[in-house]
């Protein structure tokens, strides 16, 4: 079975700092990868996804992620975070043909103003 690991439980940054959140998955075949964000009190929103093609994926709100097959990784990055980026971030991988997602445990990001 596939699994997803997010190594950082809680990341605290100051505004304008650069962000990189780690995500590793276990499956060695073709993968579809996602990053979701959950702002306090709100529902999950899709930040970006990778299905195929360019391994550097750009998402909303200035986020990007790079798929590195050899490292089984799909790290999320943002050059300069803002206070409004404070949220919990989940990495997820597709399992099966019908769209079931397996989520990592999430990384809470706190950005200090």
Partner 1 sequence: GAVVSQHPSRVICKSGTSVKIECRSLDFQATTMFWYRQFPKQSLMLMATSNEGSKATYEQGVEKDKFLINHASLTLSTLTVTSAHPEDSSFYICSAPGLGVSGNTIYFGEGSWLTVV
Determine if 101 is a binding residue for partner 1 (CB under 8 A). yes
Determine if 36 is a binding residue for partner 1 (CB under 8 A). yes
Determine if 98 is a binding residue for partner 1 (CB under 8 A). yes
The residue (of 45 and 84) whose beta carbon lies closer to partner 1 is 45
The residue (of 34 and 63) whose beta carbon lies closer to partner 1 is 34
**DSSP characters over the chain:** ---EE---SEEEEETT--EEE--EE---S---EEEEEE-TTS-EEEEEEE-SS-SEEE-GGG-EEEEEGGGTEEEEEESS--GGG-EEEEEEEEETTTTEEEE---EEEEEE-
Residues that bind partner 1 (CB under 8 A): 34, 36, 42-46, 49, 51, 90, 98-106
């Amino acid at each position: 079975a596939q699994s997803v690991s997010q190594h950082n439980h809680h990341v605290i940054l100051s505004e304008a700092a650069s962000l990189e959140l780690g995500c590793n998955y276990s499956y060695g075949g073709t993968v579809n990868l996602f990053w979701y964000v959950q702002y306090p009190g709100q529902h999950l929103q899709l930040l970006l996804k990778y299905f195929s093609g360019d391994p550097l994926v750009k998402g909303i709100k200035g986020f990007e992620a790079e798929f590195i097959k050899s490292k089984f990784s799909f790290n999320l990055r943002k050059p300069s975070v803002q206070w409004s980026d404070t949220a919990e971030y989940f990495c997820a991988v597709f399992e099966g043909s019908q769209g079931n997602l397996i989520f990592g445990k999430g990384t809470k990001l706190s950005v200090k103003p």
